[in-house]
Amino acid sequence: MKLARRVMELTESATLAVSAKAARMKAAGVDVIGFGAGEPDFDTPEPIKQAGIEAIRGGHTHYSKPASGLVEAKSAVCAKFARDNGLSYTPAEVIVTAGGKMACYLAIQAVVDPGDEVVIPRPYWVSYPEMVKLAGGTPIFVTGPEENDYKLTPAVLESVLTDRTRMVILCSPSNPSGVTYSPDELRVVADVLAGRDLVVLSDEIYDRLIYDGVEHLSFAAIDDRTRAKTVTVNAASKTYAMTGWRVGFAGGPAEIIKAMARLQSQTTSGAVTFNQHALTAALTGDQFVVETMRQAFRERAERMYRRLTAIPGVRCPRPTGAIYCFPNVSATYDRLGVSGSVEFADRLLEEIRVAVVPGIAFGLDAHVRLSFALSLEEMDEGLSRIEAFLR
């Protein structure tokens, strides 16, 4: 059967592929340590689960009205943006979506026309390029200096901006590197983009998972210029361990949000209604649950970073946010007889039963991604296997 070209040209998600292969091996009784997961290993906090259950029992099982999100959910999103991000949005400037991924997709579909260019910094989340291609846009990849943890500098960013640039995507804290832009670094980016007719998609899904005293600044909160051109994407997925609930949200200029809502009304019809009640409970409830998870991730981040950088030939950006380390392991390729990150990851999985995600999936073949969303015991065992394999 002939399938649409746009589907055939999509690249399979490497993160899901690695997780699926590791799961098959585990199901066959193989002792696999999985560093591939891009989700917290914690359970959704009980008050949030109860809110979802009570919503179902209360009959909140019909369509979301409006499609852009329930009134109470959008009010909770507005309150979250004000509390955590210093952003004052009205309900007309926010949307609740079926996950953060859908928020990104809708924003790109609403703004990008065929032939438009979208600047995507390396390393990038695996879905950005595919979403841009689905909109008919052209991904323009750009890489900051490794010594600057690949963060964009003014010269690097200016080198790829053209009259066809319609969007710039930022992700801080970064998936896959865990690197966070400082407020000053973001202000410099804002200065470079000032006066340009483009939209910034700021993916801030890990904004509550920040470590080492690093300050998170929302790009839209820098000044009126950035607020007017930025769509800020977030979700309950990582902050509240709700990846399976598929509920995200975004805030931005009312015109763009309205366009995203029109698209949503013709696709998913909106986020699941009772899940929006759970989102409301998450955003308005006791935030102690977030701090508990954040502290656990902070300890794991430091431990993984310390052990990885102690391995000869391995260097790694320090993770100051998110749930990942992104070590450069290319110095070991020749000795291991591998040509890149895919073969490196295959060797680890087949020979020492450790699953990592090849860096080529994120645009940098010298790296692999390891998630520290697993127990300390599993993490230590997996890192010990990697250390023994690489020494």
The pLDDT, as a whole number, for residue 13 is 72
Buried b (16+ CB within 10 A) or exposed e, 112-151: beeebbbbbbebbbbbbbbbbbbbebbbbebebeeeebbb
Which regions of the chain carry the CATH code 3.40.640.10? 46-284
Q: What is the band of 22 on the pLDDT scale with cuts at 50, 70, 90?
A: confident
Q: What is the band of 19 on the pLDDT scale with cuts at 50, 70, 90?
A: confident
Q: What is the band of 255 on the pLDDT scale with cuts at 50, 70, 90?
A: very high
Q: What is the band of 157 on the pLDDT scale with cuts at 50, 70, 90?
A: very high
Average pLDDT (382-387) is 98
Hey, what's the torsion of the CAs at 279, 183, 314, 327, to 10 degrees? 30
- SS3 per residue for the chain: CCCCHHHHCCCCCHHHHHHHHHHHHHHCCCCCEECCCCCCCCCCCHHHHHHHHHHHHCCCCCCCCCCCCCHHHHHHHHHHHHHHHCCCCCHHHEEEECCHHHHHHHHHHHHCCCCCEEEEEECCCCHHHHHHHHCCCEEEEEECCHHHCCCCCHHHHHCCCCCCEEEEEEECCCCCCCCCCCHHHHHHHHHHHCCCCCEEEEECCCCCCECCCCCCCCHHHCCHHHHHHEEEEEECCCCCCCHHHCCEEEECCHHHHHHHHHHHHCCCCCCCHHHHHHHHHHHHCCCHHHHHHHHHHHHHHHHHHHHHHCCCCCECCCCCECCEECCECHHHHHHHCCCCHHHHHHHHHHHCCEECEEHHHHCCCCEEEEECCCCHHHHHHHHHHHHHHHC
* pLDDT above 80 (res 195): yes
Q: Which CATH number fits domain 5-43+289-390: 3.90.1150.10, 3.30.300.210, 2.30.42.10, 3.50.50.60?
A: 3.90.1150.10
The pLDDT, as a whole number, for residue 20 is 80
The pLDDT, as a whole number, for residue 17 is 74
Least confident of 20-29, 81-90, 270-279: 20-29
Identity of the amino acid at 233: V
Give the Å distances, CA to CA, from 255 to 92, 94, 138, 252: 9, 11, 23, 8
Mean pLDDT, the chain, as a whole number?
Answer: 96
Q: What is the band of 238 on the pLDDT scale with cuts at 50, 70, 90?
A: very high
Give the Å distances, CA to CA, from 35 to 25, 61, 342: 14, 36, 15
Average pLDDT (102-128) is 98
* pLDDT above 90 (res 220): yes
Identity of the amino acid at 52: G
Which regions of the chain carry the CATH code 3.90.1150.10? 5-43+289-390
The pLDDT, as a whole number, for residue 88 is 98
Average pLDDT (233-249) is 98
CB atoms within 10 A of CB 77: 26
Q: What is the pLDDT of residues 319-354, one digit of tens each?
A: 999 999 999 999 999 999 999 999 999 999 999 999
Least confident of 2-16, 35-49, 236-250, 282-296: 2-16
Give the Å distances, CA to CA, from 283 to 72, 86, 91, 289: 11, 15, 15, 11
The pLDDT, as a whole number, for residue 31 is 93
The pLDDT, as a whole number, for residue 21 is 81
**Domain 46-284 in CATH 2.40.128.20:** no
Peptide bond into 66 cis (omega under 30): yes
Q: How far apart are CA 123 and CA 355, in angstroms?
A: 19
Q: What is the band of 59 on the pLDDT scale with cuts at 50, 70, 90?
A: very high
